[in-house]
Amino acid sequence: MIQQNKYYNRLEEFINSSLLSHQVLLINLYDKQIGDEGVSGLCSALANCINLSNLKLQLDYNQIGAIGALSLGSALANCINFSNLTLDLRMNEIGDEGVLGLGSALANCINLSNLTFDLRYNQIGSKGASGLCSALANCINLSNLTLDLRYNQIGDEGVQGLGSALANCINLSNLTLYLSDNQIGAMGASDLGSALANCINLLNLILDLISNQIGAMGASRLGSALANCISLSNLTLYLRQKQFIYYGL
């Protein structure tokens, strides 16, 4: 049976739709300023879409905080038949608490194989980044992951935890990580490479570490570690770094 794509760009229209009939769904609420209250209404409807297999949800620029993110996670946890999920939550305020709640909920989506998650500009620190990926390791069928954490504050500790958690995603074959502008140093880059070397089924890797502080030593250690990715066939690295020039008086 052919699955029919449904598209909504008004929250009220989606809430009043035939929720049980949805299988492939695109909801675009970009810059609607719905906030946590609006997300609550969205989530009440989403929780009833139990037959969803494919969802693309655009919620960027919506003043969503941790409470809204937790509500969203609870709703998504009911959609156990997900195989493909795209979540765009950039330019909100969900923080560590919100992203941890989302991760815990997604861990229940055991059929999830393709996930694209945009979390740019969300005040996420080391705890949130590593906790999210630890939760995703429970998605045992996850094979394709794109995770955009640019312009947060995950640091060395966060990127180490992130890498170690991703190494537990045993079926991961395609990984794209955007980590630019995250206060990552040489140690973080080295630890990330060592952790990713344990992703034994990883075939394709795109890694963006632009505008951090990994330096020449960090880049060298990262490359040496990634050389141990035994199945890797395609690698793209973005490493342009911030440069600081000091002039003595």
What would the pLDDT profile of 202-234 be if each residue is shown by its tens digit? 999 999 999 999 999 999 999 999 999 999 999
The structural domain count of the chain equals 1
pLDDT of residue 246: 41
pLDDT of residue 247: 40
In a domain, 245, yes or no: no
> HEC profile for the chain?
CCCCEEEECCHHHHHCCCHHHCCEEEEECCCCCCHHHHHHHHHHHHCCCCCCCEEEEECCCCCCEHHHHHHHHHHHCCCCCCCEEEEECCCCECHHHHHHHHHHHHCCCCCCCEEEEECCCCCCEHHHHHHHHHHHCCCCCCCEEEEECCCCECHHHHHHHHHHHHCCCCCCCEEEEECCCCCCEHHHHHHHHHHHCCCCCCCEEEEECCCCECHHHHHHHHHHHHCCCCCCCEEEEECCCCCCCCCCC
pLDDT of residue 241: 73
pLDDT of residue 78: 86
pLDDT of residue 244: 43
Mean pLDDT for the chain? 92
In a domain, 173, yes or no: yes
pTM of the full predicted structure? 0.94
In a domain, 24, yes or no: yes
101 vs 79, residue with greater confidence: 101
In a domain, 48, yes or no: yes
When pLDDT is averaged across residues 140-156 and rounded to a whole number, the result is 97
pLDDT confidence bin for 198, thresholds 50/70/90? very high
In a domain, 249, yes or no: no
CATH number of domain containing 20 = 3.80.10.10
247 vs 169, residue with greater confidence: 169
pLDDT confidence bin for 242, thresholds 50/70/90? low
Q: Is 3 a residue whose pLDDT tops 70? A: no
For residue 60, the enclosing domain spans: 5-238
In a domain, 187, yes or no: yes
pLDDT of residue 249: 35
